[in-house]
Amino acid sequence: MRYEAPETVERATALLAESAGEARVLAGGTDLLVQMRADVVEPALIVDIKRIAETRAITEDRGGWRIGAAVTGAELKEHPRLQQVWPGVVEAANLIGSTQVQGRATLGGNLCNGSPAADSVPALIAAGAVATLAGPQGRRELPVEDVMLGPRRLALGKGEIVVSFRLPPRPPRSSDAYLRFIPRTEMDIAVVGVGVSLTVDASGTISDLLALVREERVAPKLSEPVDLGALARSAADGTRHDGIAHDVYAGEGCWVEGDERRLRRLAENLLDNADRHARARVTVRVAREGGRVALSVEDDGPGVPAAMRERIFERFVRADDDERGSGLGLAICREIARAHGGDVVLEDRSRFVARLPVFEAT
């Protein structure tokens, strides 16, 4: 067996093209060395690409990012800026094997191993990554999804290697993630891997949908007393829309028990809904009603038609005049209130009231 470690892309591709026997590229070696040890492959030539500077670099490129094919998962994780912009790609790379393996495993090797269980590949595809290939005929670019044709089958010609991956520029309000299902809890091969990269519009529909799923699946921490009056004042100050006045009237002793973060979301959603429909003014009242605390939010707009007064709490249902809402804000309010032992209802045409159990200190 012959081993070569060229320092240029041109020399590496020439070596591979000229090889008479089976030739393999060594990036991290976490798959290749195991396969050689098990006699699955017996290459006549190994071309180590780690000495090629271009394959080992992480650089910003035309508003996006370029990642060398021989950059390791550990190096991706240690790059603070890349992890902020593409957390899903970095997360996927760091699910390849153990901590020790991640110090060697590379994006290029994970793709070119040709395994359907490759963790980084779904994340790269979701990100819209494009691979830069180099061979005897020069360079070309190919979307990552077109590089792997099937198990152990690649769209690489003789002498071609993957040099780097380019991730596109990120629009505002964008992020990505990777999730896999494995039979064991750690260090197993993915049965299913899912990558997602998304961008939401100004209405925040995706963020509201994720919030609704979270309310359904994660129980609130019913352990802290919350001053609902103070919370309503703070929410009214933080959600004020241009040209809309907020009048807040909060009584004393309006304490409830629950998760302050979620209760704030409830108040902010009610205020945001009212601001979108108000002509000029929104009135917020917090008062005790026996064993309950009532938070009411009323706008001076046209109100909700009688036929819509219950449907307005359904998912993706919006009033006819509401082009800015996601159709999820009021559904989230009701989920939060019910999780805290209360409810949200629409009284009259435009007064939404959330009623929650009073917190009595012992």
Coil/strand/helix, residue 134: strand
Q: Give, for all 362 residues of the chain, the pLDDT tens digit.
A: 899 999 999 999 999 999 988 899 999 887 788 888 888 888 889 999 999 999 999 999 888 899 999 999 889 999 989 988 999 999 998 888 777 777 778 999 999 988 888 889 999 998 889 999 999 999 999 999 999 998 989 999 999 999 999 998 887 788 899 988 877 766 667 788 889 888 776 666 666 666 666 665 556 655 789 999 999 999 998 766 678 999 999 988 899 999 898 899 999 999 988 998 899 999 999 999 999 999 999 999 999 888 888 888 887 776 655 545 557 889 889 999 998 999 999 998 899 999 999 998 76
> Does 175 lie in the same domain as 100?
yes
Domain boundary among 176, 199, 222: 199
Question: Which of 143, 173, 199 is the last residue in one of the domains?
Answer: 199
Task: Give per-residue pLDDT as tens, 302-349.
Answer: 998 888 888 888 877 766 555 455 578 898 899 999 989 999 999 988
Task: Report how many domains make up the chain.
Answer: 2
Tell whether 176 is covered by a domain.
Answer: yes
Token pair 């699946």 is found at 217
Tell me the CATH number at 111: 3.30.465.10
The reply to whether 275 and 156 lie within a common domain is: no
Does the residue 239 lie in any domain? yes
Q: Beta strand pairing status for 281-289 and 245-250?
A: parallel
The residues, ordered by sequence, that sit 6+ positions from 78 with a Cβ below 8 Å of its Cβ are: none
pLDDT value at residue 12:
95
pLDDT on residue 37: 87
- 236 and 176 part of one domain: no
Q: Are residues 163 and 243 in the same domain?
A: no
pLDDT at 66: 96
Residues pairing with 199 in the sheet: 174
Whether pTM exceeds 0.85? no
Domain annotation covers residue 362: no
Domain that holds residue 214: 205-357
Alpha helix (H) residue ranges in the chain? 9-18, 32-37, 73-77, 80-85, 87-93, 99-102, 107-112, 120-127, 144-147, 205-217, 228-238, 260-277, 329-339
Same domain? For 142 and 157 the reply is yes
CATH number at residue 330: 3.30.565.10
Query: Of 144, 179, 199, which residue constitutes the final position of a domain?
Result: 199
Name, in order, each residue with C-beta under 8 angstroms of 236's C-beta and a sequence gap of 6 or more.
246, 248, 271, 282, 284
Q: Are 165 and 55 in contact (CB under 8 A)?
A: no
191 and 213 inside one domain: no
Asked if residue 288 belongs to a domain, the reply is yes
- Say yes or no: 257 and 325 in one domain: yes
Return the pLDDT at 284: 97
Say if 54 falls within a structural domain.
yes
* 257 and 334 both lie in a single domain: yes
